[in-house]
Homo-oligomer: A and B are copies of this chain.
Amino acid sequence: MNLSICETAAFLREHDRFLIITHASPDGDTLGSGFGLWYALHALGKQARVVCSDEIPQKFGYLLSGYHEEVFTPETIVAVDLAAEQLFGERLRPYADKVDLCIDHHPSNTRYAKRLLLEPDSAATCEMMLDVVDAMEVALDSNIARCLYTGLSTDTGCFKYANVTPRTHRNAARLMETGIDCATINRLMFDTKTRNRLKLERMVLESIEYYFDGRLALIAVTQEMLRKSGVPENETEGIASLPRQIEGVDVGVMLKEKENGGYKVSLRTSESVNASEVCSTLGGGGHMRAAGCFLPLPLEEAKLRLLEAVSAAYGEKL
């Protein structure tokens, strides 16, 4: 059942004892909308808990500055920024068919939840959550704003991508007016690299390969590179966007080796190719310009599978 913003706010006001589920390999938007919702529910005197199948990366610690966990038995399951069952992650997968409400902006959402608030034109789930918070008549405070700004900023590459609308900028202005320190958030999200991360980037850039007359650039992040550089597997975000930044490249691919084998594919595209469509043919999904899938194959086979799928989208032979 599709809900509107107002129906979603009414549902949240009418229920209690929330379990808020964020997606595996958590990013700024799922955590921002999850904890943002927690602060809003808390302001209404409700009980809630935010959970994630994977560990929350340290750099997001500031989102939890006013968060605490209470002991209660969950009654209402809410999933945020969570497009499909497999993104619940191993630990939380059992909840996938018990979700009472899903709030999401991914057009590829598989409609697994009993109630769905879906706005594919929103730059981030956090952008929708700001409307939900307003409709719940919760006053915007700096805890909520810090969370929602984080999702808005991270899902738009700091207001850089095509998903940004005038509304996104006006929302950022409103959130900023609560007095939050956006520059520090952005520095943490975008401009903080460990020395190890610099090492990894150098290795990755040496692995770069070009296909289709330089229109596709592909990088691989192997377990060996992670080991050598000392970068944890869950701290490679941003690397996926490196190949598409090269002049003349309209499809950028990152293949990241998983600990138990196989490669996670991240696809970033320009106008020419629909990333979500390509990844759908490989069992994944996402957005038009940024999507992903998993290929349980050795590196060279995974490359070939991916290149074939892109080739079909280009309408060209490899």
Contacts and interface: CB of A to CB of B under 8 A. Distances in A.
A88 to B, nearest CB: 31
A49 interface: no
A133 B202 CA distance: 45
Nearest to A247: B194
Contacts of A50: none
A69 interface: no
A208 B169 CA distance: 36
A193 B246 contact: yes
A45 interface: no
Given A192-B245, A193-B245, A166 B158 contact: no
Most buried by B among A164, A194, A244: A164
Contact of A169 (B162, B170, B194, B246): B170
Contact of A205 (B165, B187, B202, B241): B202
A159 interface: yes
A161 interface: yes
A91 interface: no
Interface in A173-187: 173-174, 176-177, 182-183, 186-187
A190 B173 CA distance: 22
A164 B205 CA distance: 32
29 contacts: A158-B158, A158-B159, A159-B172, A160-B183, A160-B186, A160-B187, A160-B190, A160-B191, A164-B176, A165-B176, A166-B174, A166-B177, A169-B172, A169-B173, A169-B176, A170-B173, A191-B241, A191-B244, A192-B245, A192-B246, A192-B247, A193-B247, A194-B246, A195-B246, A195-B247, A198-B205, A198-B246, A201-B205, A202-B206
Interface of A: 157-162, 164-167, 169-170, 172-174, 176-177, 182-183, 186-187, 190-195, 198, 201-202, 205-206, 208, 241, 244-247
